[in-house]
Chains A and B, each alone.
Chain A
């Protein structure tokens, strides 16, 4: 009943304080010290006035906004009258001092609170001066209470200032905890806003002059399209509206209420079309889009929803931004994987088939001149069978829908090493540590390609006959140590070893690093690859 209902709290507080003050003076024979008839009359009418304000504004945010400032001035005026008439030490005026101060702090901000406090202190001092010299006036108590008022005012001004920095903020971490990852971000934002405001219906539309979005009503979602300008004044980003009564309330930059006609402010036809007769509209901005959050069927719509709406608009923007960011990350990862696969297919299958076609052309030309082509055909057949095996293992890796355990990945590398041993007539062995680690598919494909490349390099350029491949993991890195007995990469003793470029390029693409230690008879290549962050 009182959530987001500061207007109700102030109105009810006014009624209780007025009644309590009237009763306490009634039983206190020493009060009122000045003009008793007029004081009782003032208090009696003040109680009636407080009841009237509470009744009028209890369910009417428009009147609450309209009457907020006049009621505030009346509260201060009554306070002055009470101080004047009940200046004795038993006067409970202090309560009346608190009401306008708290009202200002709750409704507006620290500036209005400071203004109210200044006015109240001046009025209190003026009233005190008016009764100076009477028998009930006590200077010491008057000065002490003046001090109390100043301290209390300072506290409430601080409260008003602090309140502006303690708004609801929904950060990415909080969103991750509270929201699902699979749902449309627009629906997530809308659901969050509807839950926070207890709205029965809501819409979130994005665009400039053509808004597209979602509408949630009765648990059912439907897409929405609105043509035109939803808010006529682009400077206004937030409003409560009542289309039937042609009313709208917004806040100025100084946080004061601004009363408007809803027909002048909003595209009421568009709002009526989606069924939003009375509710809240708040701007939603992201880095790339802007639009509106509209909430209606709110059971206890109050002026506090202006503050809440501002927060919900910002939260919706944060959720949409987060959705766009996740989408961009997913698209980026998919694009990287696509490019990487295209490169693999280009580097292996396309190049192999092109080479095979050149060999067939050579054999055709050879056979036309009577040359023997049988050995070339056998060689081509062997190469085709090997390539078939490579493509099969490549496709198996792609089909797999989970990461490999390190042991599984090593088994596949051992099988590949066995094939490479036969292909290059070399002794190729793979050993691995017995640690546990998950190997992403992309990394496993890279490992296989690196092994092929390393063996081909060692045999072709170094004339190696023995190659040992060690696999180890350390935290979030995988280390591949390729050791061979070839002549090494060094062209001469005075020259630095040349880098194995094809290997280096693959390692760079996998965001890893490569170190080379080479001397005749022994070459060590240490390749380090990240275990995390590799695209699946």
Chain B
């Protein structure tokens, strides 16, 4: 039997996977509802495979995956997701999980994926693979930004005001405004809200 840990904060998913794995070669050895809980349970229950939801409180699935990549003999990771934005797709691509399954795809694909992973191979949902390819394309098309402009976008994304940004970058508020307008023009965004919301896509990297 392959030991499986499920990390997903939604009760319906947990109960459903519990039922789905019954009578298979997989034994559900634990359930975690947060990122921190998942890491603790990995230490305790030593699973072979961890089914990891991407969006969880107290540490996302990607945070957990990042941590696990630092450990010796980590379990195989199958990311379970109902949808990822560009930055998450790019981050996941960089972390190379053994499997990625869309919750909205045919549920049979999860068992197919787990089977491949069990054999030591990797399996990525075709839709996720295509969206990752598109995200990489968009990232490569992202206009070139100076390091200072990238810093400024990061600060805008954090919801900081011009005054705070100016203090942090050691410039005047007027200079921040000038920078922002140059960035708006360069990236074709209309305002700072749009800039903050599209920061990951525009920077071409996860934030």
Residue ID in chain A nearest B108 by CB atoms: A361
Q: Are B23 and A287 in contact (CB under 8 A)?
A: no
Chain A residue numbers with a CB within 8 Å of B192 are 328
User: Chain B residues with Cβ under 8 A from A356's Cβ?
Assistant: 12, 16
B186: Cβ under 8 A from any A Cβ: no
Q: Name A228-260 residues within 8 Å CB distance of B.
A: none
Judge if A347 is at the interface, Cβ distance under 8 Å.
yes
Measured CB to CB, the closest approach of chain B to A425, in angstroms, equals 15
Residue pair A355, B13 in contact (C-beta under 8 Å):
yes
CB nearest neighbor in A for B55: A346
Chain B residues whose C-beta falls within 8 Å of the C-beta of A460 in the assembled complex: 11
11 more A-B contacts (CB under 8 A) besides A287-B177, A355-B16, A358-B13?
Answer: A328-B193, A332-B193, A335-B193, A350-B103, A352-B10, A361-B107, A363-B19, A366-B23, A371-B23, A460-B11, A501-B57
Measured between beta carbons, the chain B residues less than 8 angstroms from A376 are: 19
Q: Of B11, B83, B191, which contacts A346 at CB under 8 A? A: B83
Against B, the Cβ 8 Å flags (1 = close, 0 = not) of A346-375 are: 110011111111111111011001010000
A456 touches B103 (CB 8 A): no
What are the 9 closest A-B residue pairs judged by CB atoms, nearest first? A355-B12, A361-B107, A354-B103, A358-B16, A501-B57, A355-B16, A362-B20, A351-B10, A362-B19
CA distance A366 to B83 in the complex (A): 28
B91: interface (CB < 8 Å) = no
Which A residues are CB-close (under 8 A) to B177? 287-288
Q: Which residues of A lie under 8 Å from residue B66 when comparing CB positions?
A: none
Query: How distant is the Cα of A362 from the Cα of B19 in the complex, in angstroms?
Result: 6
* Interface residue SS majority, chain A: helix
Cα-based distance from A347 to B15 in the complex (angstroms):
16
Chain B residues near A355: list those with CB within 8 A.
Answer: 10, 12-13, 15-16
In the complex, the answer to whether A502 meets B19 with C-beta atoms within 8 Å is no
Task: Enumerate chain B residues within 8 angstroms of A351, measured Cβ to Cβ.
Answer: 10, 12-13, 82, 103
CB proximity of B8 to chain A, nearest CB, Å = 9
- Residues of B with C-beta under 8 A to A360: 107
Q: Quick one: which of B116-130 are within 8 Å of A by CB?
A: none
Among A347, A360, A365, A504, chain B packs the most CB atoms within 10 A around the CB of A365
Q: Residue A388 at the B interface, CB < 8 A?
A: no
> What's the least CB distance linking B192 to chain A, in Å?
7
* Chain A residues closer than 8 Å to B191, beta-carbon distance: 328, 331
Complex contact B193–A501 (CB within 8 A): no
Give the B-binding residues of A (Cβ under 8 A): 287-288, 328, 331-332, 335, 346-347, 350-363, 365-366, 369, 371, 376, 383, 456, 460, 501-502, 504-505
Complex Cα gap A157–B17 (Å):
86
A352, A358, A369, A376 pick with most chain B CB within 10 angstroms: A358
Interchain Cβ contacts under 8 Å between A and B, 7 examples: A288-B177, A351-B82, A358-B13, A358-B110, A362-B19, A501-B58, A502-B34
Residues of B within 8 A of A352 (CB): 10, 12
B1-54 at interface with A (beta carbon < 8 Å): 9-13, 15-17, 19-20, 22-23, 33-34
Contact of B17 among A353, A358, A504, A505 (CB under 8 A): A358
* Among B15, B19, B23, B83, contact of A369 (Cβ-Cβ < 8 Å): B23
**A362 CA to B20 CA in the complex, in Å?**
4
Q: Are A357 and B83 in contact (CB under 8 A)?
A: no
Q: Can you name the residue of chain B whose Cβ is closest to the Cβ of A288?
A: B181
- Per-position binary interface string of chain B over residues 53-87, scored 1 when its CB falls under 8 Å from any chain A CB and 0 otherwise: 00101100000000000000000000000110000
In the assembled complex, the CB of A508 is this many whole angstroms from the nearest CB of chain B, namely 9
Contact A358 B82 (CB under 8 A): no
* CA A353 to CA B20, docked complex, whole Å: 15
Distance A460 CA – B31 CA, assembled complex (angstroms): 12
Task: Return the chain B residue nearest A369 by Cβ.
Answer: B23
Give the chain A neighbours of B19 by CB distance below 8 A.
Answer: 358-359, 362-363, 376
Q: Which residue of B lies closest to A504 (CB)?
A: B57
Residues 163-198 of chain B: 1 if any A CB is under 8 Å from the residue's CB, otherwise 0? 000000000000001000100000000011100010
8 Å CB contact of A361 from B20, B34, B104:
B20
A448 to B33 Cα, complex, angstroms: 20
Q: A328 CA to B9 CA in the complex, in Å?
A: 34
Q: How far is the CA of A360 from the CA of B107 in the complex (A)?
A: 9
Instruction: Identify which of A351, A361, A504 gathers the most chain B CB atoms within 10 Å of its CB.
Output: A351
